[in-house]
Structure 1
């Protein structure tokens, strides 16, 4: 049994529910954020999808129950049709302060790499910063993002395929990088909305990255039915179709 949260955007959640039911996948619709999380943590359901419930009600309570975690949106690469992870995508996923941000991004890379390896995908990591490398010196904020990205690459040097080439997300995707690290959660959230909700790139929601084994997928309340459907299908099958 799986569960989808149902709040706003009920129509799209119900479409996903009916499609899953037709395929013989048992799904419960839950309109209470705490109940959704509690049922998952208590083992009453095998997996949960946030669905269209409010993030500000579900995510803080989930953190209260399992501790710190990060979110990574799973999207189809428009150039290769392979999946890639985009993280962070939660506006509160990254701590404030330069050193804390770097530590959080390092953790995200470690968790995301493990996630892909568990699905027999070799991780290739690309770090985004605020401009081209040749823009260094034009803007202090952009400069800081470039320096930060370089420090992260240096941390992993020699241990994985990791690159920093500035703001060029399109080049990263063409080169089949499958973990894209955004500047922060706000930037990541905007990128997700542009790709997933505006350009309609297929996706599976955002998986939870943490040291806990939890089958929860975060989804936008503005998503179409296919994202809710894909999220439950992934939880039920453990792979990306």
Structure 2
């Protein structure tokens, strides 16, 4: 009789033993954050790839999330599939998947869609979610743009000139922006720039931007110049004119000082 009761107790304890996590986890995974890069893709010369990254948390552990790319206007879709856990765990981890839109696909808006999330216990959370809307274009690009250079003497008062190189296919409209140690110089948007006292000790770069209708815009920045040094005045020896007699007036003949403007004082 005692043996029989022990057997019953043992059986009951096995039947009623809780499954780890089953009683407390009744919710699906939580989407903590998501990033989609880039948001603009150009498929004029080849396929373009977008990367989707998610962070999910779940008490028991999230199942592999599923994403896809789709163009609602045409019904085209690409990249459907499960994401890969790249860091952390299924309970708190970062998931990633790259998807490619082939050259020749429809242009316009493409949506990155996240399928409903679930965990290993079968708990679901959320419905379909649009993580981002991509702008897909097929705009031809300008030929690889040359790196501009800067010519001129790197002294205060001298003028630097941007040498943009040859941009194609012509005609390409070029614009300029000069920088002082990486900071844009206000109103310095011509192909030349006259150095000022503020530039002393700093380096100068120029960014050239090329534009042509129907083509993507491109920008290139020159290498920095050497640090700008103080300028050198052209200082001629003055002469004195006038009658050298008491009561007469003498006048200083200054000559031409450069670069102008130069403030002169006398003793």
Shorter-chain TM-score range:
under 0.3
**Normalised TM-score (structure 1):** 0.22
User: As a proportion of its length, which structure holds more helix?
Assistant: 1
Select the structure of larger CA radius of gyration.
2
Q: Which one scores higher on RCO, CA 8 angstroms, separation ≥ 6? A: 1
User: As a proportion of its length, which structure holds more strand?
Assistant: 2
**Normalised TM-score (structure 2):** 0.21
